[in-house]
Chains A and B, each alone.
Chain A
């Protein structure tokens, strides 16, 4: 074993207290330093933290940013989300292959650059975009690829890439990114002027039960997708047995088409940490964790700085703002490329240094969460609402919005529209109004709530966006009249196939089959019966899957089958001879022909 590797690993593990629950930090550090987590490395890590080697491998093999195989010092990950494809990522992909002389999945012969695809990296509003290690390059074109590849080959250091700076804190020296916020509409809650720390001060003047009651009266519901009442979640967590409790902010934002949390982390970091601190006070937690998706690593240094500033101002730490006995601090846990880690129990698994498998419920996180302690997991936007509720009062908070869904919601709008970006709108807005606002009045279809939500057509454009009608965690993707909705559904199924954790049968195998049937239909081999199979298979996956991923993953298929039935029907046909059109003899004998170096003669009656 190389001395260099062992001493580096020893150091990394020691830094993490030789604590196996810090496995994510350990393997991320090893990956970063050596471009891989090799067999040797896994054996040594297992020794240092006193676990089994196969347990280390089970973690490394789960996350796409980690690998047993050697990768280049620079890893380029081009986003191949549906929206990026609509804005031309396929020609950008060709340009990368040409400029680098390698295919996707390969590393340059000098071992310096690896080229890969990534699912949605949260930049749909400025697509096509790619990650260069932690750096993000947006608005890619073939010309820009040429420039940026020539640039990186000069120094192989993504932090030295030349690019313009984005707006707001994107231009902060610690972020130094070309990412744009694209805030298109400012509402009264999140993007309005507000008095920093006024909410926290008010909260600390109240009892924690009163704080929870205020949040309950504001009828604040989770903004991450499920819409669970936040006050109730906090009450359960507070009431659960045990001294030690945790609050976790879910900044995994992996739902394709969602990027509003990215903007909040950039422009409202203080507000978010204020919200976490109030949450900590309410549930009785002295520790908070911000789980930040690996794709947003470019924001990490900046967020660390915001936390450090808050510590120096006694907004974090001991006896916060003079409140005797109220101690609270926040650490950042980095993810490593896994959509499923946005699911709250997977997120907890990941924080514990495990594969991102969801946990069996019950027990729920409020009873037994992180390290077995009561834990509240809340979305970034939810936590940003909290200081406003405490600053302005619950009555003010519910003034706008609809009856069942008070206040405002951030929408991440992208796709075929003139003004992609983040919109803060009151709940209850009509789809047609939104389309007008974003410059997409000719839309054929709309994906609301990301692929796990629904794809609706013009018949639903008079409906409203709120928890009781068209619910959304924030993603709104617009599809213009020329898009093939069956192909869109197939692309989203590809995403779920890639992102299923593989724990349970229906999601692991069922999504693969759904995708296979869609491909069959798209290649012109589909039969009318296939639509029925798709429907039934999709329903089985929804009903029997173990967690929210599988329970919603068939939605792109099921909602397009319902709302764009014609698209499917024109693609499937009954054959005249009653034979299945799926068998392609030429393709079937191809392998044999290659081995035999002979063409086959096929006789046709």
Chain B
């Protein structure tokens, strides 16, 4: 087996190593494939579907699909952009997102993705679900109204912290993040220093008392669109 695999993304030749996913190989080549649930160092979850690309004409999640020799990958196309926008629109109405009051605003990957894709107002009717807030922990707040069920916290707590503080319960639209206790986060051994406290892409699991340390307007995505860091590595 050769130790290099060559394929194309939107006609551009990309080289990668066996076992790499499309998304990893694209990142290394400075090509940004939009994504939400993926996070480096966690096992790819494949839940948000924003990274959907066409591989030899078939839709696949770039974050979980291994690269293959000669594959033809479509990423930055009008059709895929529409699908990705639709997914982001779904995520907005599926939860309760009031960005103007949210301390994650400007650092939020969902919001940043919406801006990058050119969404300024929601397209679908709001579903206004009833979701719980858990403020019992001294250092951490969980506001499930903003959860996008990406699975990062579940994986980080299980695989990195080795604690399994979080797990999904329920199914379908009732699926939610639960904590490993009869009721509240305070009854678990969760620590603000856990990896799982630092992975939430949105304002669902957030640290208390640091929310506005950096003013709105000067935050991560206020200056540069999401994905810029990857595109800066373009060869």
Contact = CB atoms under 8 A, between A and B. Distances in A.
Nearest to B52: A544
Nearest to B95: A509
Contacts of A510: 86, 90
A61 B172 CA distance: 11
A513 B93 contact: yes
A54 B82 CA distance: 37
Given A39-B182, A516-B125, A543-B52, A61 B46 contact: no
A54 B168 CA distance: 8
B90 A500 contact: no
A565 interface: no
A497 interface: yes
B174 A502 contact: yes
A245 B120 CA distance: 52
A509 B90 contact: yes
Given A39-B182, A540-B86, A509 B170 contact: no
B173 A540 contact: no
Interface string B66-87: 1000000000000000110011
A546 B61 contact: yes
Contact of A57 (B59, B90, B178): B178
A591 interface: no
A274 interface: no
A501 B83 contact: no
Given A52-B180, A544-B52, A497 B173 contact: yes
A502 B82 contact: no
Given A503-B47, A546-B47, A508 B173 contact: yes
A505 B173 contact: no
A500 B173 contact: yes
Contacts of B50: 505
B105 interface: no
A501 B171 contact: yes
A134 interface: no
A62 B169 CA distance: 7
Interface string A352-382: 0001100010100000000000000000000
Given A52-B164, A53-B181, A536-B82, A544 B171 contact: no
Contacts, number: 125
A499 interface: yes
A513 B173 CA distance: 11
Nearest to B177: A54
Interface in B48-64: 48-50, 52, 59, 61, 64
Contacts of A497: 172-173
Q: Which of A43, A497, A501, A540 has the most CB of B within 10 A?
A: A540
B171 A54 contact: no
Given A508-B149, A543-B83, A546-B46, A61 B171 contact: yes
A52 B171 contact: no
Contact of A543 (B59, B169, B172): B59
Nearest to B66: A362
Nearest to A63: B171
Nearest to B51: A544
Nearest to B63: A360
A504 interface: yes
B74 to A, nearest CB: 12
B172 A545 contact: no
B115 interface: no
B172 A501 contact: yes
B47 A504 contact: yes
Interface string B157-175: 0000000111111111111
A360 to B, nearest CB: 5
B179 interface: yes
Interface in A498-545: 498-506, 508-510, 512-513, 516, 533, 536-537, 539-540, 543-545
Contact of B167 (A58, A513, A536): A58
Given A61-B171, A543-B52, 20 more contacts: A53-B181, A54-B165, A61-B169, A500-B171, A500-B172, A502-B175, A505-B47, A505-B149, A508-B173, A508-B175, A509-B90, A510-B90, A512-B173, A513-B90, A513-B93, A516-B125, A540-B82, A540-B86, A544-B52, A546-B47
9 contacts: A57-B178, A61-B171, A355-B171, A500-B173, A508-B149, A512-B94, A544-B83, A544-B87, A546-B46
